[in-house]
Amino acid sequence: MPKVIVTEEQWIRLGMKRFANNGVDGLVIERMASELGCSKSSFYWYFNDRSEFIAKIVDHWAHVTTQQVMRKADGAEQSLERLIALLTQMFSVTRVGDFLFYLRKLGRENPYYDEVLEQIERTRMDYARQLLIQAGMDPETAGHKSSLLYHYYLGWYERHKDQSIGEEEPHRHVDLLRRQLLGI
């Protein structure tokens, strides 16, 4: 039987999925190796230990869910279009587990992850703040509204995370937020 070669990216993607569904308890190396169709030694080819693996999972998740989303929004030409693109992406994603919940839980157990989460959330709110300023809002109001927007999103996601969201739902929320919260 040929040897199955599994990449670091495959390990990380599976780790993100399992972490989003069960937190660190879902990161059982033997089970993951079985799911990937490889031996457990493949894991140790890429990662020194489970702690390093968790750190790489969190780093990759932060990149995908923060940096890539911001880059997509930056693709729009005008500041208002960037803001609407950001909101549309935010309210279009459900049924991907609860990575943020488990990261918060991990942060309560390990101060390093609490700091990582704080930085991720600060980056997200600062980005929204900058978009609001570019759209003509004064910096103080933009700061308050970016915080309200982010916290609204967290509640919305918690309520809808296990549901399939139709195409109209994100547009409805974007329009509501654009008019009511952002005043644009």
Checking 16-21 for CB contacts under 8 A at 24+ apart, the result is 16/57, 16/60, 16/61, 16/99, 17/97, 19/54, 19/57, 19/61, 19/97, 19/99, 19/102, 20/96, 20/97, 20/98, 20/99, 20/102, 21/97, 21/98
164 in a domain, yes or no?
yes
Per DSSP, the residues of 14-47 read HHHHHHHHHGGGG--HHHHHHHHTS-THHHHHH-
Contacts of 113 (CB under 8 A, 6+ apart): 58, 103, 106, 107
Contacts of 121 (CB under 8 A, 6+ apart): 150
% of residues, the chain, pLDDT over 70: 96
The pair of three-digit structure tokens given for residue 106, joined into one six-digit string = 């991990």
The enclosing domain of 129 has a CATH number of 1.10.357
Question: What is the sign of the dihedral through the CA atoms of 145, 172, 65 and 70?
Answer: negative
44 in a domain, yes or no?
no
- Mean pLDDT for the chain? 88
Q: pLDDT tens digit string along 51-99? A: 999 999 999 999 888 888 888 888 888 878 888 888 888 877 766 678 8
pLDDT at residue 116 is higher than 90: yes
DSSP 8-state code for residue 6? -
Q: Which amino acid is at 23?
A: G
112 in a domain, yes or no?
yes
- Residue 164's domain comprises 49-181
Assess contact for 150 and 122: CB atoms under 8 A.
no
30 in a domain, yes or no?
no
121 in a domain, yes or no?
yes
57 in a domain, yes or no?
yes
pTM of the model: 0.83
% of residues, the chain, pLDDT over 90: 53
In 3D, which of 106, 107, 149 has the Cα closest to residue 124?
A: 149
59 in a domain, yes or no?
yes
92 in a domain, yes or no?
yes
Distance CA 112, CA 103 (A): 11
Distance CA 98, CA 2 (A): 36
What's the domain count of the chain? 1
Distances (CA, A) of 177 to 72, 98, 147: 20, 23, 13
